[in-house]
Structure 1
Amino acid sequence: MQEFKRYMHQNLMLCIMLCMIFAFTSPCAVAKENSLIRFPRLDVKADPNEAYVLDLLQLILQNTPKRYEYSPTKSRMLQGRAIYEMTREHGDVDMILTMTTDEREKKLIPIRIPVDKGLIGWRVALISPKIKADFSTIRSIDDLRKFTAGQEQDWPDVAILKANKLPVTTSSSFEPLFGMLQAGRFDYFPRSIFEVYGELSNHQEYGVHLDQNIILHYPAAVYFFVTPRRPQLAEDFRIGFEKVLANGSFEKLFLKHNQASIGKTNIKQRTVIKLNNPHLNINSLPLQRSELWFQP
């Protein structure tokens, strides 16, 4: 009988200790998980906007009601895979920065403040030196239809170009596109003002040129998107973003990182070719807030 009592007492003490450990550690673990934002490490050699995005992210997170930390995923992934992870019940990604579409806005929670001020919809062309003379004769969308664009297969731009009856060749990932352009697999690589100069600098070995003749324009925006698993994160992030808009620090940061690219592009000296974007409801864009948009 004495042995039984001792056995029961030992087990009771063990249960109490386990409960105390769980009580003290579990909330901390949950709190840590809820304060961490996991970003996808995207499939690019060097992201030309990384410094801008990280500076902006830091600025916003300094102004959210709750303190958050961000962490890149261990492995690189394509945009499509990152979005899939955000829709899974136990996915590995909490937030992504990407171009908006109606479909993405249905699946995820958009923070409807354009990080790029709409520059993603202003596209200049990277070309091979071999077609420079031919490309300089383009004056209309009909002229452009004689040439083939190159894009990554899961980018929204593929559907936009095709909807405007512009031929497109795709690659399963980003980096091979420069080699494909150099080899003549397609004629031009439309890139936004927001991206192109950093990409040119990072891929000089391919000898591609920036066309000085045309610029494509279609309604578009780059948003932060949050997984539907974390609506409170989305609301906190929106509040933080609105604060940095109101105090002028967003505009200052945007100009610091993008003003030189805008100036070099000489938009007013180019032929503007307007495209429709049938995959984005223009009424979903915050167009009534003129301070959010770039005006050439």
Structure 2
Amino acid sequence: MNKFLLMMILTFVIFGTYLINQNDLSSMIKQEIITEPIRNKEIKNDEKVLKIIYPFQESVFDTRNRYQWEVLEAAMEETKEEGQYELIPSKVKMSEAREIVEVSKKNGLLTVLRQANLKGLEDSMLPIKIPLLKGTLGWRVFLIRKETQKLLDKEVTSLEKLKTIRHGTGTSWADNPILRGNGFAVTEGSNYDGLFSMLESGRFQVLPRGINECLKELNERKKNSPDIVLEKKIILRYKLFDFFWVNKKNVKLANRIERGLLKIRENGIMDNIFNKYFENDMLPLGLYGRTIYDISSEKFTFPIKNPPEEYLMESYLRKKQRCWMLDCKSVCKQCPEKCWQLACKKLCVSCRNYGKLNKAK
């Protein structure tokens, strides 16, 4: 009897285990049927995400292009009904020359870059001809060593004298051919951080920087390079615009970026981003009190036909109507009249006459 009961119990356990295993197997099969399409869907969706790879910054101090990538993100957001996207920084640090190569070639490491409107680039890349920086890259002030200011005050009395002062520039930078083509003394550097070291060591006397970038660069380096300062009296000006560029065959992406940029220009998002990054950096430069030296860039850049005023720095300054020459940096409410509301009672230079004050011949 005991043996019979034992056999019954063993049979029940074995059969029960079999049923449980069958149920587990059935559940696993059902689960596989349920989850497999989800995995396929994820892969399918991932394939539809437009991956846009942009250049990684050249160094920890290099914050020059953060504005452009935020503008690009805003433009893509405005067109997100056209498809999902993901902005990805490149894994490799590159010079500007390398960036151009990577965007130009098939299956390159970059999808998009920002670059000036230099002649010849259209042969290998496709530009989206909407200026990103209001031409500020063509408004150059100088970073110098402290002792150089006295030399410049004494020696630079004309454009021809300014040309004899040695200027530093990156080998692949847009201003390199413009400066050389206008007869300036130029010393090239192969990388971004190295140019500041070259300035400190006296390899050249001035490092021209856009009015949108110079103060950030100065503040980022003041602890390690206290001898580098901002030159006080000169603006070197020429026409130079900054665009997004993509591979020539990537017309679909170019068109989408263009549509997005036009939207954020119209709804004010682009100006808001510009103000966030640059307005407070340009105010302390004392633009109205500087002597402006104009040079030509026509031989080296392709033109923008009849650019809208909002693309130009002059228009931006007029809208701001600020007393750029005054130390107090107060807003002028009666431009071009006297700023009687200011305690200093100094004259407000007319915003409408920007560029005429102290303009050198």
Superposition TM-score tier, normalisation by shorter sequence: 0.7 to 0.9
In structure 2, distance between residues paired with 1:172 and 1:213 = 28
Matches within 5 A, 1:47-58: 47-58=62-73
Structure 1 position 173, deviation (Å): 0.7
Matches within 5 A, 1:1-296: 28=45, 30-32=47-49, 35-64=50-79, 65-137=82-154, 138-204=156-222, 205-206=224-225, 207-277=227-297, 278-282=299-303, 285-295=304-314, 296=317
Structural RMSD (CA): 2.2
Which secondary structure state, in structure 2, belongs to the residue aligned with residue 158 of structure 1?
helix
Contact 1:109 1:226 survives alignment (8 Å)? yes
Question: How many residues in Structure 1 have an aligned counterpart in Structure 2?
Answer: 273
The amino acid of 1:208's aligned partner reads I
Structure 1 position 53, deviation (Å): 2.9
In structure 2, distance between residues paired with 1:28 and 1:239 = 24
Higher relative contact order (CA 8 A, sep 6+): 1
The amino acid of 1:248's aligned partner reads G
Which secondary structure state, in structure 1, belongs to the residue aligned with residue 62 of structure 2?
coil
In structure 1, distance between residues paired with 2:93 and 2:279 = 30
CA offset digits 1:210-234 (Å, max 9, x no partner): 0011000000011111122321111
The sequence identity of aligned pairs, in percent, is: 26
**Which runs of 5 or more structure 2 residues have no equivalent in the other structure?**
1-36, 318-361
CA offset digits 1:49-104 (Å, max 9, x no partner): 44423432221111123332110111101111011011111211110012221212
Which secondary structure state, in structure 1, belongs to the residue aligned with residue 164 of structure 2?
coil
Which secondary structure state, in structure 1, belongs to the residue aligned with residue 187 of structure 2?
strand
Contact 1:42 1:79 survives alignment (8 Å)? no
In structure 1, distance between residues paired with 2:255 and 2:268 = 20
In structure 2, distance between residues paired with 1:288 and 1:38 = 29
Return closer, same or farther for 1:281/1:99 CA change in 2, 3 Å cut-off.
Answer: closer
The amino acid of 1:252's aligned partner reads N
Larger radius of gyration, structure 1 or 2?
2
The amino acid of 1:143's aligned partner reads K
Aligned counterpart, 1:9: none
The amino acid of 2:296's aligned partner reads N
In structure 2, distance between residues paired with 1:54 and 1:119 = 17
In structure 2, distance between residues paired with 1:189 and 1:272 = 16
Return closer, same or farther for 1:102/1:148 CA change in 2, 3 Å cut-off.
Answer: same
The amino acid of 2:67's aligned partner reads Y
In structure 2, distance between residues paired with 1:155 and 1:50 = 14
Structure 1 position 25, deviation (Å): 8.4
In structure 1, distance between residues paired with 2:247 and 2:70 = 22
Structure 1 position 253, deviation (Å): 1.9
In structure 1, distance between residues paired with 2:206 and 2:258 = 37
**Which runs of 5 or more structure 1 residues have no equivalent in the other structure?**
1-19
Return closer, same or farther for 1:148/1:58 CA change in 2, 3 Å cut-off.
Answer: same
Contact 1:117 1:293 survives alignment (8 Å)? yes
